[in-house]
Structure 1
């Protein structure tokens, strides 16, 4: 029985260090689409070597760039990967089974994180991410910073499949990303008018740590799991701290105008 044809879609910018490993695990797909943002390293050459269809467009934001890449695809079913992500052994078979008379609008793939000097233990909790989907039934949402695919219809998680995200190779990279993401989320949270910021800032970070380290079994990852849980709690704290700061600064400006 044949399966639905598949387009693998990736956006890139100076990803020569990771792209070869990424593409070597998806060369069985009918099509690989790479939308580059003007790389100055060997990213484009690596993509072309793997037979990818490559285009270039200036990067405006993550969500619009991803959607632009989806629109380039020839097939309805899309596997969305980042250039620093690699499918684990056995995931191809799970995807191909899912695409044989698919009954869902999309499929989540569990993600294993690189935790600094190691890769997340398979028995610790792996968050599922909607990466395999029918583009006729969805696309990118417009959430700042954490834009993601949304589909209309049922979604299933392929628990026997997963992929490894190689993004956080060291603590410094992780902290830099936390600072950038939390700053980017302020506008979104202000628009949502999220309440109880102070209480969230005090109580959510320790709860987040316990949920990660104990509930999601990050303790199985040794000290790397402990540090990942602490930095995750710091992320939880910082996004509400920056939101509180933005509101205080806005209130101060109002008071100054009233003087």
Structure 2
């Protein structure tokens, strides 16, 4: 039995350090589409090595850039990957099997995180995200950060894991927390956030306990502890910056 043709869609910017692993794991796809936003390293050369169809446009924001890349796909079924994500052979086989007779409009895939010097424990809780979908029944949300694929139809879950190489060190993770907390102000401003000062005080602790204990990152040793602390710092920053934004100037 044949399978649905698949377009793999990746957005890039100076992604040479991780793009080779990303595209090598999907070299079996019918098409690879790379939308670049002005890389100055070997990103486009790596994409060309894998026969990708390369397009370029200035960065329009995380969600808008990904939607623009999805719109460039030739095939109905799309696998959306970040340039620092990769699939192993087992995950690829799982996707190919699902595409033989898709029973849903989209599928969630599990994601395993690199934490500074080690992979998170497989016994911890993995997040899952919609990444394989029928693009005629799905679009990106309009969030500034933490964008997601919104699907008109049933969503299944595949037993396939994406490896997210992410930030290689603590400094990179902290810089990302600072950047994302600033970008998220536009999303927070769209809704009324009550008890803002209480959130600044209490929510970082809640975020730490949920990340470290409930999601099982304590199984990853000190790497998991540090990641949880940075996650709590991000939770504090987003509300502190909102408080700063809303507070009248003296």
Q: Deviations over 1:194-218 (max 9, x none)?
A: 2121222222211111111111111
Query: What's the counterpart of residue 219 of structure 2?
Result: 220
Residue in structure 1 matched with residue 166 of structure 2 by the alignment:
167
Q: Secondary structure of the equivalent of 1:41? A: coil
Q: Which residue of 2 aligns with 1:125?
A: 125
Alignment of 1:94-173 (within 5 A): 94-158=94-158, 160-173=159-172
Matched, 1:239 2:238: yes
Partner SS for 1:231: helix
State the match for 1:208 in structure 2: 207
Residue equivalent to 1:192: 191
d(CA) in 2 for partners of 1:198, 1:89: 48
TM-fit CA distance, 1:85: 0.6
What is the CA-CA distance between 1:146 and the residue it aligns to?
A: 2.1
Equivalent residue number for residue 44 of structure 1: 44
Cα separation, 1, equivalents of 2:190 and 2:49: 44
User: Residue 61 of structure 2 corresponds to which residue in structure 1?
Assistant: 61
Question: Normalized against structure 2, the TM-score is what?
Answer: 0.96
Give 1:147 deviation, angstroms: 2.0
Q: Which residue of 1 aligns with 2:26?
A: 26
**1:162 partner SS:** strand
CA shift digits 1:63-109 (9 cap, x unpaired): 11111111111101100001111113410111112212211111111
Higher mean C-alpha displacement, 63-72 vs 18-27: 63-72
For 1:230, the equivalent position in structure 2 comes to 229
SS at 1:245's partner residue?
A: helix
Where do 5+ consecutive residues of structure 1 fail to align?
Answer: none
Cα deviation for residue 36 of structure 1 reads 1.0
How much does 1:193 deviate? 1.5
1:80-95 aligned within 5 A: 80-95=80-95
Give the Cα separation in 1 of the matches to 2:239 and 2:88. 35
Residue-pair matches, total? 250
Other structure's SS at 1:192 match: coil
Q: Which moved more, 1:88-97 or 1:227-236?
A: 88-97
**TM-score, normalised to structure 1's length?**
0.93
- Aligned to 2:156, the other structure's residue is in SS state strand
User: Which secondary structure does the structure 1 equivalent of 2:69 belong to?
Assistant: helix
Q: Which has the larger radius of gyration?
A: 1
